[in-house]
Amino acid sequence: MNEWAVMFNELAQERRPMTQGIAWFDSLLAEEQVAALRLLSHYCVQARATSADGPAAIRRAGLRATHTPAVLITRGRINEQLGKIAGLAPLDERRKAFRLLISVLAVADGRRRQRFCSDGCGHEWHRLPLTERS
């Protein structure tokens, strides 16, 4: 797994605090932030995120329901909405999008882990080593 995949999964699995994730995200160039959000939205699709994951993800991300990414995630057609969220332009909206997409990944992958991986699986992101938390 590459560095970004590890970061996304450590954040989604709460193996790394979101404050570290935001600091990492803020250290990226604007173009890299957009690329990270697009990749993260793709991971959400792979984890089989659904529109029903929206409210739980919004709560987990600590966003208000009126924040743009939160409004988008509740508008149906999850794959389409994930793309819109990943394409948000202002830095403040990108930070919110990052928090929300990590939360969507956490909710969707948590469900997948319970349903399909509870007896073990071959997903290397489900076997991440414990990391130092600061």
* 26-56 pLDDT per residue, tens: 999 999 999 999 999 999 999 999 999 999 9
Instruction: Indicate whether 75 belongs to any domain.
Output: yes
Instruction: Indicate whether 100 belongs to any domain.
Output: yes
User: What pTM value is reported for the model?
Assistant: 0.85
Instruction: Indicate whether 129 belongs to any domain.
Output: no
C-alpha span between 40 and 3 (Å, rounded): 13
Instruction: Indicate whether 124 belongs to any domain.
Output: no
If one counts the domains in the chain, the total is: 1
Instruction: Indicate whether 121 belongs to any domain.
Output: no
Residue-number span of the structural domain to which 73 is assigned: 3-116
Instruction: Indicate whether 132 belongs to any domain.
Output: no
Instruction: Indicate whether 127 belongs to any domain.
Output: no
pLDDT score for 126: 44
